[in-house]
Chain A
Amino acid sequence: MSDSDNDILELIDQGSYTYAQSLIAKKIKKFPQRSYYYALNNKILHKLGKTSQALQNNVKLMEKYPNDPQAIALLNEFFTEIGMDKEASLVYENVIKRYPNNTSLIIEWFESAIDKFDLRLYNRIFLNLSKSDKSSRLYKFWYAFSYYLLISNSTKAGLIEKELDLFKTLGTRVIEELRPFQNTQELFVYVSLLKAKGNFNGIIQLIENELSFNLDLDLKIIFLEALSESESWQKLFDYSRKLITEEDFNDFNTWKLLLKASKNLGLSFESVKSEIIESQKITRNSLLAVVHLADLYENGALFEAVTTYYQSFNRKLCCFFDLKNYIDKIDNEAFLEMVKESTADILSGTPSTTNDLISLVNNQKFVYLLSKDNIDIKEYISTNWKIYNIFKDNKNIRGGEFDNNPINELTLITIITELSIDDSVSNIIKNIAVIEHLLINDMYNHKLKLWLMKLYANINSTNLIIFNYQKMKIKMIQHETLSHYLYTVNPSKQHLTDFVNIYRFYLTSNEEVRSSVVSGFEKGIFNKLESFINFGSRLADSISRYHIILTIIRFSFVLGDHNYLNYFTNQLRNNANKILSQKEFLDNRDYTSEWKFGLAGEGKYFDQSLLKEPHDPSKTNDSMIKLNILRYLIIFEDREESTNKYMKQFNKIASNYKPQLQFDVLLLKLHLNILKLFKQSSNLNANEQQSILNYLLKNLKFDKIKSILIPSSLLSWQLNHNLINLAEFVKIVNYLSKRTPGNSFIQQLKPCLDQLVKDLKKMNVLDAELKELESLQSKIQITEVDGVKIDETFKLLHDSIEESTVSFLKTL
């Protein structure tokens, strides 16, 4: 590419389209045969909103079969951007048909296609690639591996049954001639295809007879599975035993297969137990192997095995999780009796060791699990607090400085149970105070912190959420899984910056994954590539990514800070076709870490819907994300054709979407009407316009909306949620008014909105909130935990509520 070509690209990037066009015109005059300049010109037309013309030109250009790689890349980019994936591929395929040995062009095609994560497309590209360079062993593996990817992701790739069978055969056929395989990765591709075919004997023969290298972990696992599936019991017995005894592979899956083989070989329970398991060093896995053995042989020995394990490992936190897997198969009454005896025994002495504490924690979990809704909850809570108070000042019960204090595993269970009984604002505040207190001596306990953020999110102390989020040092991929804790954070200049900083993770993530997929194929690390591809796909179209973008745009509107607005709306505009054409956004949010006590979903006191509302994933879903994306696309769209298309989609999704709160329902209608009025007025006749205006004027009255705008408790998260959304609505109307100054409706709407804001301010929401907070202070008594500084918590909440509410109200 010449310097002058680079100059043109720079001008396009800077948005200097007219000047760029004039330079391109000169180039075309000089080089009339070079397709590249025509494609470049069409790129500008597209940027200028003349997409139909650009499309027409580019289709004509494509029909001339340009073979200039730069022109092809531009055409591919254009068709991809407007959602014409078939044409995007055709620009490459047409040339490759004529020049089938052009390997570098096929590689370019692959690189351009990676982040589409389209497995059928990968397969087509690799077919061409393997044909283009028949001497390449690697490309044949790429091609074979793409069949494996298709089979392994058959639903996502939309494979029909016939294709599924065919691909299994085609995949192995491509690399059959390359035997013997040279390394574990090559072997992985072949055995994975054999596994897909169900040819387990084939896997065994290959591994037993043709190997000149050691198996890696992936292959060991596949080999074990093949031995089990093919019922090669003696071989399975020998191999799994060798792994455990000779190679120190302390692996429970291998233990299970050894026991399965033993049973199928007719070995007696006693001989397996004494000669195979107990001849080994006693470990957690070996004791659990006895439990599993008893379960497998169904000979009535399970209770004894469980008891033996319990007696050895009840001093470890894993004990509860391990035995929970077998609890439904044993005599619960007898087990509960044993657990209660253990608790009584420990409590009758002077419990002081870590072993005592962890045993009590496990026991209390068992008590809950085995009683659930029949539990005497008052007594249960009282026992838990009693245990807490025995150990609260014991400094010797933690292993290392950074280990969590096991007592708080139980304390959090108690807090959750209490909140399940009473999730009122005052009980939320009480438990905020308790958790803040517990964190003083257990400052790295992430479950305490997650629950603290959850509680802060349920009342209007939303600036404390992000404070704690940052204290947890959440970063990189953790934003993808945990940023939903920030859903209720209030708009402020600082928070806007915080969200922009969070988004930085996504700035590089696409390229990081893309280049790793390329590198993974080049290095032939087939046992990792499937996950690379799925990871890329899950991250590229995730709910969290788009939610962060939407939050930044919302904050920008509310705060009137438009520094980032262009960048983030362009993120949506440039990918609009792709975003709107996808069926669903992928959800990688972590809603489970805060519930990992082993009791989630066990009875009414451990219902995961507890205090879930502000972060409810069923509300922050595909429809909600798409509606908001469409809303912003329409606001920033000047092209009538596109606006109409977006409005149609908006209407369609809105008609099936159930918003979270009553005020959200109204707001959705208000947005719809305001967008019609500002962006589609030319499609409406005078009566329709007046009717919309009347609707808006009627519903933008404070008295009319007050009952759904202001929740019964002013401290509820719903208050700020509604007010922030209302503030955004007002700001959007102002923004649209400025962009369409001639719009006659503004003169009628503006006074109405001004009055609404005036009435809202007159209500003095903040004072009312703070009064409500103050009224609760005397009602909250904490008797269970000594030393909780409830006054400090109220001071913290007072300041936080003030700051969280003022931060956006002052912008109105």
Chain B
Amino acid sequence: MTSIVPFQIEDLFDINPVNLDPLTENFNLSFYLQYLTDWPSLFFKSIEIYSDFGQDHEISGYMMGKTEGKLSKKEWHTHITAVTVQDQYRRLGLASDLCIHLEKMTSIEPYDVLFVDLFVKVTNTLARQLYEKLGYSVYRRVVGYYGRDMPTDRNKIDDEIDAFDMRKSQPRDVNNETIRDHGDKVNVLPQEVVF
């Protein structure tokens, strides 16, 4: 019984069951506040009906997204910054629902983006499969994206610290110019993926 509603900054007081997950990042306040200020519609949560502790709902997951890039360079897009689901509500397609909602919302005005993209760790096969099911494909491999040091050699690949930049083109990209085949063979450095 999942519903999708806007995220509010006070939700940070209630998201421990989601954010105590080891892979979910706890950002500083400014980061959440910036997303809520700059992209208020692209930060939303999934909630469940829940009656314990006098609550009426519980947060089961959330999506943080943003839009960026220049249209003239064919880079105007939605970026999925974080999508996470609480342990009890996994394997239900909730993350997919959150992605679909973001995609639907930003494929029309006032956003009308060319594509949606996200980064996924090369070793995170489950996540990659989830996104592939949703129509995303690898656009490029970002070498050393999750590493501590800034890499300089784009041919020095390392599955543990490399990310796939995955994309899904949107109706505005009529000719599918923002995606490509065999993107996993195209290596770039983190500093080359700044918009």
Taking CB atoms, residues of chain A closer than 8 Å to B87 are 317, 403-404
* Residue of B1, B21, B26, B48 ringed by the most chain A CB atoms within 10 A: B1
A446 to chain B, nearest CB (A): 4
The interface bits of chain B over 100-115 (1 if a CB of A lies within 8 angstroms of the residue's CB, else 0) are: 1100110011100000
Q: A444-B21, A481-B13 are in contact. Are A321 and B50 (CB under 8 A)?
A: yes
Q: A402-B22, A481-B16 are in contact. Are A325 and B33 (CB under 8 A)?
A: no
Tell me which of A321, A446, A528 contacts B21 (CB under 8 A).
A446
Q: A216-B41, A317-B88, A527-B6 are in contact. Are A248 and B33 (CB under 8 A)?
A: no
Taking CB atoms, residues of chain B closer than 8 Å to A444 are 21-22
Is B53 positioned at the interface, with any CB of A under 8 Å from its CB? yes
Q: A252-B3, A325-B1 are in contact. Are A527 and B12 (CB under 8 A)?
A: no
Tell me which of A217, A317, A318 contacts B4 (CB under 8 A).
A217
The interface bits of chain A over 316-330 (1 if a CB of B lies within 8 angstroms of the residue's CB, else 0) are: 111001101100000
- The answer to whether A318 and B89 have CB atoms under 8 Å apart is yes
B37 to chain A, nearest CB (A): 5
- The answer to whether B22 and A321 have CB atoms under 8 Å apart is no
Taking CB atoms, residues of chain B closer than 8 Å to A283 are 93
- The answer to whether A538 and B1 have CB atoms under 8 Å apart is no
Taking CB atoms, residues of chain A closer than 8 Å to B12 are 477, 535
The interface bits of chain B over 21-32 (1 if a CB of A lies within 8 angstroms of the residue's CB, else 0) are: 111001111100
A313 to chain B, nearest CB (A): 9
B184 to chain A, nearest CB (A): 21
Q: A477-B13, A531-B9 are in contact. Are A321 and B48 (CB under 8 A)?
A: yes
Taking CB atoms, residues of chain A closer than 8 Å to B27 are 476
Taking CB atoms, residues of chain B closer than 8 Å to A477 are 12-13, 26, 29
Main SS at interface, chain A: helix
Q: A214-B110, A283-B93 are in contact. Are A184 and B17 (CB under 8 A)?
A: no
Tell me which of A213, A482, A512, A600 contacts B33 (CB under 8 A).
A512
Taking CB atoms, residues of chain A closer than 8 Å to B91 are 316, 399
- The answer to whether B8 and A214 have CB atoms under 8 Å apart is no
B60 to chain A, nearest CB (A): 8
Bound Cα distance from A284 to B30, whole angstroms: 36
Is B49 positioned at the interface, with any CB of A under 8 Å from its CB? yes
Is A534 positioned at the interface, with any CB of B under 8 Å from its CB? yes
B169 to chain A, nearest CB (A): 17
Q: A288-B1, A316-B92, A402-B22 are in contact. Are A516 and B51 (CB under 8 A)?
A: no
Interface of chain A residues 512 through 533 with chain B (CB within 8 A): 512-513, 516, 519-520, 523, 525, 527-528, 531-532
Interface of chain A residues 393 through 441 with chain B (CB within 8 A): 399-400, 402-404
Taking CB atoms, residues of chain B closer than 8 Å to A596 are 17, 52, 58, 88
- The answer to whether A284 and B21 have CB atoms under 8 Å apart is no
- The answer to whether B33 and A217 have CB atoms under 8 Å apart is no
* Stretch in A101-109, A156-164, A202-210, A586-594 with 4+ CB within 8 Å of B: A586-594
A369 to chain B, nearest CB (A): 11
B121 to chain A, nearest CB (A): 11
Bound Cα distance from A436 to B157, whole angstroms: 37
The interface bits of chain A over 671-708 (1 if a CB of B lies within 8 angstroms of the residue's CB, else 0) are: 00000000000000000000000000000000000000
Taking CB atoms, residues of chain A closer than 8 Å to B16 are 446, 478, 481-482, 590, 593
A280 to chain B, nearest CB (A): 14
Taking CB atoms, residues of chain A closer than 8 Å to B22 are 402, 444, 473
Bound Cα distance from A321 to B90, whole angstroms: 13
Is B36 positioned at the interface, with any CB of A under 8 Å from its CB? yes
Bound Cα distance from A323 to B163, whole angstroms: 39
Tell me which of A213, A252, A475 contacts B1 (CB under 8 A).
A252
Residue of B nearest to A479 (CB): B26
Taking CB atoms, residues of chain B closer than 8 Å to A288 are 1
A-B contact pairs, 10 of them (CB 8 A): A185-B40, A213-B110, A218-B41, A512-B33, A516-B29, A516-B30, A519-B37, A532-B33, A590-B16, A592-B52
Q: Residues on A close to B: CB < 8 A?
A: 183-185, 213-214, 216-218, 221, 247-254, 283-285, 288, 316-318, 321-322, 324-325, 399-400, 402-404, 444, 446, 472-473, 475-478, 480-482, 508-509, 512-513, 516, 519-520, 523, 525, 527-528, 531-532, 534-535, 538, 588, 590, 592-593, 595-596, 598, 600-601
A249-B101, A317-B88, A516-B29 given; 18 more Cβ-contact pairs under 8 Å? A185-B40, A217-B44, A221-B5, A221-B6, A253-B5, A317-B89, A318-B89, A321-B50, A322-B48, A402-B23, A446-B17, A473-B22, A478-B26, A516-B30, A516-B33, A528-B37, A532-B9, A596-B88
